[in-house]
Amino acid sequence: MNYGKLADTIDKDLLEAVDLILNTEVDPETRQLNLEILLREAGTEVYEVIYAMNAYDMEIEYTRGPGINDNYYGMAKHLSDSISLGGREDVIAQLQLWLQDQIHKAQYDAFETAGQSGKYRVATRTELPGCCEWCARHVGTFVEPTWEVFAQHDHCRGSIETSGWKSHNGTLTGKGWKQYKR
């Protein structure tokens, strides 16, 4: 699932808050300190929500992620300095990437914790008798399946049973599994 697109819903508010802090009449250190607080608070919230969503999906709701890393200090300095040094467009693009990084880190941390907790996503692919050679080659049970496990051609008659992945669990057949392709 593309959790990254959720960032679009907070981009506008985050940029407005950053713009308010980036006041030319305020001392650079004060600007930087306030940006650090803003990024830490917003980044932590984003991280925790994304981690919780992934943890639920991976059945490790009882865990907590290690949290965001400290690169928000550098991001805050970069933003604060951009008033005097220019290059605003680049810095804003970097801020959006930074936000995406927090989301990716939360996903990665949940994924790693799930693995350490013995929670693995499994896909079992079966075929009907008389299937083609290509389909027969794809039969099997796969731990942490890659997208190839879900590959299909136009007239596949087999099915895939997924487990260890709440939002995707169940049996996927025919056209129905196209939407679950990763």
Residues making contact with another protein (CB under 8 A): 1-3, 5-6, 9-10, 13-14, 16-17, 20-21, 23-28, 30, 34, 38, 41-42, 45-46, 49-50, 53, 80-81, 83-90, 167
Q: Are 120 and 75 in contact (CB under 8 A)?
A: no
> Residue 17 or residue 149: which is nearer to another protein going by CB?
17
Cα dist. 47→34, 121, 133, 135, 140 in Å?
20, 22, 45, 40, 35
Q: Cβ contacts of residue 17 below 8 Å, gap of 6+?
A: 38, 42
DSSP designation for 164: S
Minimum CB separation of residue 25 from another protein in Å reads 6
Cα dist. 118→2, 58, 121 in Å?
24, 10, 10
> Residue 83 or residue 149: which is nearer to another protein going by CB?
83
CA–CA separation, 81 vs 29, rounded Å? 9
Minimum CB separation of residue 78 from another protein in Å reads 11
> Residue 84 or residue 143: which is nearer to another protein going by CB?
84
Residue 129: left (phi > 0), alpha (psi -120 to 50), or beta?
beta
Angle of CA points 152, 158, 161, to nearest 5°:
95
Minimum CB separation of residue 48 from another protein in Å reads 8
Minimum CB separation of residue 86 from another protein in Å reads 4
Minimum CB separation of residue 46 from another protein in Å reads 5
> Residue 50 or residue 58: which is nearer to another protein going by CB?
50
> Residue 21 or residue 156: which is nearer to another protein going by CB?
21
